[in-house]
Amino acid sequence: MSKLWGGRFTKKTDQLVEEYTASIMFDKELAEEDVQGSLAHVTMLGKQGILPADDVETIKQGLTRVLEKVRKGEIEFSVSDEDIHMNIEKTLIDDIGPVGGKLHTGRSRNDQVATDMHLYLRKRVVEFVELLHKLQAALIEQAKANLDTIVPGYTHLQRAQPILFAHHLMAYVSMFGRDAERLQDSYKRINTLPLGAGALAGTTFPIDRHFVASQLGFDRVYENSLDAVSDRDFILEFLSHASIIMMHLSRLSEELILWSSTEFHFVELDDAFCTGSSIMPQKKNPDVPELVRGKTGRVYGNLIGLLTVLKSLPLAYNKDMQEDKEGMFDTVRTLQGALQLFAPMIATMKVNKDRMRQAVNQDFSNATDIADFLVGKGLPFRQAHEVIGKTVLYCIQQNKYLLDLTLDEFKQFSDLFDDRIYEVLQPEQVVNARNVYGGTARSQVAEAIARAEREQDQTAAWVKEYSERSQ
Ligand code: ARG
């Protein structure tokens, strides 16, 4: 059979043009969604009396057979049928005969492809919320196991103030929580039905768009037919949310890479998540975080790519928009890979508590607290800062830490020092003194963990509800 749109043409399409314009190589991934959309569409055509009931029945049975064949890998998709929509329609017509040609009544590939992508992405969004939830759970478990582990906290990658390692991990739980929230919020925009917009202007048939929406579990339909077929904001939104998630993962990756170096030696990633060197037998490389850090680039690239495709595009559909798919699929795969690996990698990570403690004992990250001590004695903070700066300089020259100084040595810098400074300078004391909501004191971190666990329950309930709704 010739092209589904062949009537107007007198010549065969150039072979190179056929290959250049086809999208079947990648949009075959939308086969399930394409059939799902068609089943709802044809059901509606029957309900509205646009097609007779027996045609509708024949088409539905045919579509179900096509889907089975797709699932079994029995269909040989062909470039000359350009994309998934025409490959499926062609297979249907081959199977049930000319009645299959009635399926496309009142519909265009423009509203069809948009519908397929909405169906596809809403499933992925729910899966990603679930993957983020699992990663948060792994981080929370590690935080619970490290509620007494003190580690240097950094600014400018210089030791700043000691913090609980649990507190550091819980910062990522907050970050991934915002990521999940953004995806959940985007669901309502993804869950809007374009079908019924036709090519751009609507259709002359008395269709019922709201019926199709309810069949497919969409919350609403696009208000404007031009917008329905030219909107790709929902993909852009997903690509930007994915970029932010990758950015978060790449920050964590960078820390894991640093922490597992000999210089830090704060953590050890499980053997199962590392690889060796083909020449240096001693090496154990953190390839997974390195690759996640590296793959962040392609996810950003996919976002910038689609933004650029859409820039200045006149309404409504343009073939340029076929370029929305490969980047989206690539981002879905890249993000799936990263999140699937991160949860077990965090769960199995060994934390070197002794080494962290040793690091804390050998730094000046308690300096702020001793300045605060002098402030408590009535010294203005700026003067206290100056006094401690001098004290630290003295320590560096003497090759000592603050806790090594005698009271007499302290008193060279201020009369206000007394015995209690030895308690004030203890890392536990330094940490627990930061007893503000969201701070690193043990009791605050324990509460933060409890709050995060309550949120986890809510997210789990959301995932359960929405994974049923998005099928
Ligand atoms: N393969 C096309 C795409 O992905 C489907 C829509 C084609 N529409 C058209 N009028 N050529 O964008």
Chain segment 21-47, per-residue pLDDT in tens: 999 999 999 999 999 999 999 999 999
d(CA 428, CA 125): 42
d(CA 71, CA 83): 17
Residue 6 has what pLDDT? 82
Please report which confidence band the pLDDT of residue 7 belongs to, taking 50, 70 and 90 as the band edges.
confident
CA of 325 to the centre of ligand 1 (A): 11
Superfamily of domain 6-105: Fumarase/aspartase (N-terminal domain) (1.10.275.10)
The CA–CA distances, whole Å, from 440 to 47, 227, 255, 371, 408 equal 62, 49, 19, 19, 32
- Which residue in the list 41, 85, 260, 277 is annotated as catalytic? 277
Chain segment 82-134, per-residue pLDDT in tens: 999 999 999 999 999 999 999 999 999 999 999 999 999 999 999 999 999 99
CA of 379 to the centre of ligand 1 (A): 73
Three state DSSP letters for 374-395: HHHCCCCHHHHHHHHHHHHHHH
CA of 113 to the centre of ligand 1 (A): 7
Please report which confidence band the pLDDT of residue 278 belongs to, taking 50, 70 and 90 as the band edges.
confident
Chain segment 377-425, per-residue pLDDT in tens: 999 999 999 999 999 999 999 999 999 999 999 999 999 999 999 999 9
Classify domain 367-424 by CATH architecture: Orthogonal Bundle (1.10)
Return the structure tokens found at 429.
């004391």
Instruction: Determine the Cα angle at 102 with ends 99 and 104, to 5°.
Output: 145
Pocket test for ligand 1, best of 113, 117, 232, 321 (most atoms within 8 A of CB): 113
Pocket residues for ligand 1 (CB within 6 Å)?
Answer: 23, 27, 83, 109-110, 113, 317, 319, 321-322
Q: Of 1.20.200.10, 1.10.10.10, 3.40.190.10, 3.30.200.20, which CATH number belongs to 110-147+161-202+216-358+447-469?
A: 1.20.200.10
Residue 275 has what pLDDT? 83
d(CA 252, CA 258): 10
3-state helix, strand, coil in the chain (%, to 5): 65, 5, 30
Residue 90 has what pLDDT? 97
241 an active-site residue?
no
Given a contact cutoff of 8 angstroms between Cβ atoms, the answer to whether 412 and 460 are in contact is: no
- Which residue in the list 2, 156, 278, 312 is annotated as catalytic? 156
SS3 call for 410: helix
**Is 281's pLDDT higher than 80?**
no
Instruction: Supply the pTM of this predicted model.
Output: 0.95
Residue 214: Cβ-neighbour burial (10 angstroms; 0-12, 13-18, 19+) = middle
Please report which confidence band the pLDDT of residue 350 belongs to, taking 50, 70 and 90 as the band edges.
very high
41 an active-site residue?
no
H or E element at residue 164: strand 158-164
Q: Checking DSSP bridges between strand 220-221 and strand 192-193, what pairing results, if any?
A: parallel
- Residue length, the chain? 471
The CA–CA distances, whole Å, from 188 to 76, 215, 222, 240, 422 equal 36, 16, 12, 16, 57
Cis peptide leading into 316, omega within 30 of 0? Answer: yes
Residue 403 has what pLDDT? 93
How many other CB atoms are there within 10 angstroms of residue 254's CB atom?
Answer: 14
Enumerate the β-bridge partners of residue 350: 268
Return the structure tokens found at 30.
């939308």
In the chain, what are the domain boundaries? 6-105, 110-147+161-202+216-358+447-469, 367-424
CA of 115 to the centre of ligand 1 (A): 12
